[in-house]
Structure 1
């Protein structure tokens, strides 16, 4: 056993180098060279024989110049009529729940009327003299009748009329919240765009004439609209079973407004000036006209448009919709 012991440090290091050299080809053959396969921390190599990084295969990159397809339908059949390409900065903005929350709170604060009003101690009717003497009655001392601590008295620090609840929000943040809400609906397949000025119920003209002439009884008209709207919307999964639908038109459509007025349990209808970010997120689906979508994007893209010329060039933002294919 004594003869196998290394006689010096040089012999021990030589034996160690030989042992490591004999196993080195096996190690390199089993694992790739770490220097040759060096990548960023977010691009870990996929296990197995594939050398495709995770970021390239499973996490698609978001490019501002990319486009997404948008189908234009006819209403109420929802038959495809044309295909357009829209910028990802309009209909595929990444989700930001914090911006949506800020926008919804901002809209709610600005719609509060602030007309609540209560009477304080000086506004309550009655005398303001002391009720009885301070001592000698055997009861607790009492002041005037209108005191806030007495029943029927005034309210201390209560709400007063003409109170302003409005808050401020940066316009760029608010515009981005609008596009985030539209993008959220688009990614889930819940944003249905129809032809321009095509959001109307196809009701027979003879029935409309009878209603206008006053020969149709109101209960029969209401029953017809309820049944007709329910059949049309349920056939396209837009009714009550689908969580109700928000219909947004450029201008008021008489038949659509009248039909959903009788069958409000299946959806809600509004013009472009009557909706906000909260409305886009409340209902099950959103159906709007193409010109409505274009105007909403044009109104809410101030963070994408540069109003000032830089060396004679003005950034007008990405184009709003480009026709790719039209059905015959």
Structure 2
């Protein structure tokens, strides 16, 4: 599949690149996508939730009433969860929500996500670019030229480009990442995926294994 290469002003450079059918043209695997997105979202959870149980509540340990003869249920501590101010029964404890997925499945999920965006004409290839200084207005100008200023976009750069990254940090609906940071959730969450020409080879190398 051939795709035209645009410059940062949105004009056709006259060049075309060949997209690998093994990365951008596979039949999407929905279950692999589901698992990879589930893992990504699970990893975003802090898991620091905590409530005190009866052993952690500060209070008297005196038996509050006699065992028998009261006509009500027996009770041994004011810290019991059945009383106001007592500990919570089976409350949340700090935990990790992360789980393991093998590399082949994650690779399949990312190829599926890229294939979906390619099939929906949401993939754009632009030539490599850089800014002399990190200025937000420079990146906003690129977005307007590519008609992405009102859309959620993901820019994938081949090399670490500090100025472009810093210029994009204040833009709410746009995110700039390196090839090594590509993830299924980020690709599918964008209305447009913009890939620089220089990053294609590394994407093919990483995902064609």
Q: So what's the TM-score if we normalise by structure 2?
A: 0.82
Q: Note the alpha carbon deviations across 1:198-232, whole angstroms, 9 max, x for none.
A: 2435xxx6xx5xx9xxxxxxxxx8xxx45x65454
Match of 2:89 in 1: 156
Larger relative contact order (Cα-Cα within 8 Å, sequence gap ≥ 6): 2
Aligned mates of 1:124, 1:258 — CA distance in 2: 48
Q: Which of the numbers 130, 136, 154 marks the counterpart of 2:63?
A: 130
> Is this contact kept in 1: 2:130–2:161, CA < 8 A?
no
Are 2:155 and 1:244 equivalent residues in the alignment? Answer: no
Alignment of 1:1-328 (within 5 A): 68-134=1-67, 141-161=74-94, 163-195=95-127, 198-201=128-131, 225=136, 229-240=139-150, 243-249=151-157, 250-254=159-163, 256-262=164-170, 264-302=171-209
> Is this contact kept in 1: 2:9–2:145, CA < 8 A?
no
CA pair 124-274 structure 1, distance change in 2 beyond 3 A: farther
Q: Which protein is bigger by CA-based radius of gyration? A: 1
> Is this contact kept in 2: 1:115–1:160, CA < 8 A?
yes
Between the two proteins, the alignment pairs up a number of residues equal to 208
Aligned mates of 1:266, 1:110 — CA distance in 2: 22
CA pair 169-143 structure 1, distance change in 2 beyond 3 A: same
Aligned mates of 1:117, 1:292 — CA distance in 2: 44
CA pair 158-300 structure 1, distance change in 2 beyond 3 A: farther
Q: Which runs of 5 or more residues in structure 2 are unaligned?
A: none
> Is this contact kept in 2: 1:238–1:266, CA < 8 A?
no
Aligned mates of 1:296, 1:128 — CA distance in 2: 63
Q: Indicate the RMSD between aligned Cα atoms, in angstroms.
A: 2.8
Q: So what's the TM-score if we normalise by structure 1?
A: 0.55
